[in-house]
Amino acid sequence: MPAFDPSPTPPGDADLMAATARGDAAAFAELVRRHHPRAWRLACRFLGDPAEAEDIVQEAFLRILRAAGRYRPTAAFPTYLHTVVSRLCLDWARRRRPEYPGELPDRAAEGPDPAESLDRAERRAALRQALDALPPAQRLAILLQHDEGLDYASIAAIMGVSVRAVEGCIRRARVALADRLKDSGIPEK
């Protein structure tokens, strides 16, 4: 006879959205707790500014809260969230071309070697500048693939384009990044 497991299975994202639509604030808080870090990371990588990223993510969650009653789980909730965050980032990019804001906060501890830390900081700065120089759609596609680990079909769904368009977008982004990083004088590792 199987052992009794007293721990209940946590509700899925679709269940939490349904509860949110019924006015359950705790359900919405759980969605935010689960998904805020990934949403912030995507927005921060795209925008290059942690404060702007936080504003975008807050706006994304507000929009999701307002639309909770209309939510239909046709895709996984993270895909839905990435779509909202991505569109807000693209809107931001259309309104204001970002200036190079400096390096992104590195949540990993720096190595003890100051030269190694400086080298790593220079690489991050060069990559940030190269990313900022990409057209917004290319930047978004490459970040969704590289940082979020999404496949082309998921990226296409988020961006509202075909898989072929995503393939071309990522191919062009990789070429542009390679050219810019080569021109930056930072040797590849």
In a shared domain, residues 127 and 93: no
Tokens 């296409």 -> residue: 156
Flag whether 85 is in a domain. Answer: yes
Overall residue count recorded for the chain in this entry = 189
Flag whether 3 is in a domain. Answer: no
Q: What's the CA gap between 176 and 187, in Å, rounded?
A: 16
Q: Which two tokens stand for residue 152?
A: 């082309």
Residue 86 clears pLDDT 80, i.e. is over it: yes
Flag whether 110 is in a domain. Answer: no
Sign of CA dihedral 96, 102, 105, 108: positive
Domain that holds residue 169: 115-189
Residue 106 clears pLDDT 90, i.e. is over it: no
Quickly count: other Cβ atoms within 10 Å of residue 95's Cβ.
7
Flag whether 108 is in a domain. Answer: no
Residue 108 identity (one-letter amino acid): A
Number of separate domains in the chain? 2
Flag whether 81 is in a domain. Answer: yes
Flag whether 4 is in a domain. Answer: no
Flag whether 107 is in a domain. Answer: no
Average predicted confidence (pLDDT) for the chain: 83
Q: Which two tokens stand for residue 32?
A: 């935010």
Residue 109 clears pLDDT 70, i.e. is over it: no
Average pLDDT rounded to a whole number, residues 61-84? 90
List pLDDT tens digits, range 146-161: 888 889 998 998 888 9
- Cα angle 11, 13, 17; round to 5: 100
In a shared domain, residues 15 and 79: yes
In a shared domain, residues 185 and 123: yes
**How does residue 189 score in pLDDT terms, banded at 50, 70 and 90?**
very low
**How does residue 185 score in pLDDT terms, banded at 50, 70 and 90?**
low
**Which of 48, 70, 97 lies at the terminal end of a domain, its last residue?**
97
Sign of CA dihedral 155, 161, 165, 171: negative
In a shared domain, residues 82 and 24: yes
Q: What are the φ/ψ torsions at residue 136 (nearest 5 degrees)?
A: -55, -45
Quickly count: other Cβ atoms within 10 Å of residue 184's Cβ.
15
% of the chain with per-residue pLDDT over 70: 80
Q: pLDDT at position 114, please?
A: 62
In a shared domain, residues 121 and 56: no
In a shared domain, residues 86 and 145: no
Flag whether 24 is in a domain. Answer: yes
Q: pTM of this prediction?
A: 0.69
Average pLDDT rounded to a whole number, residues 109-124? 63
Tell me the CB-side half-sphere exposure of residue 185, using CA atoms within 13 A. 1
Quickly count: other Cβ atoms within 10 Å of residue 119's Cβ.
15
In a shared domain, residues 121 and 93: no
Q: pLDDT at position 126, please?
A: 79
Residue 154 identity (one-letter amino acid): S
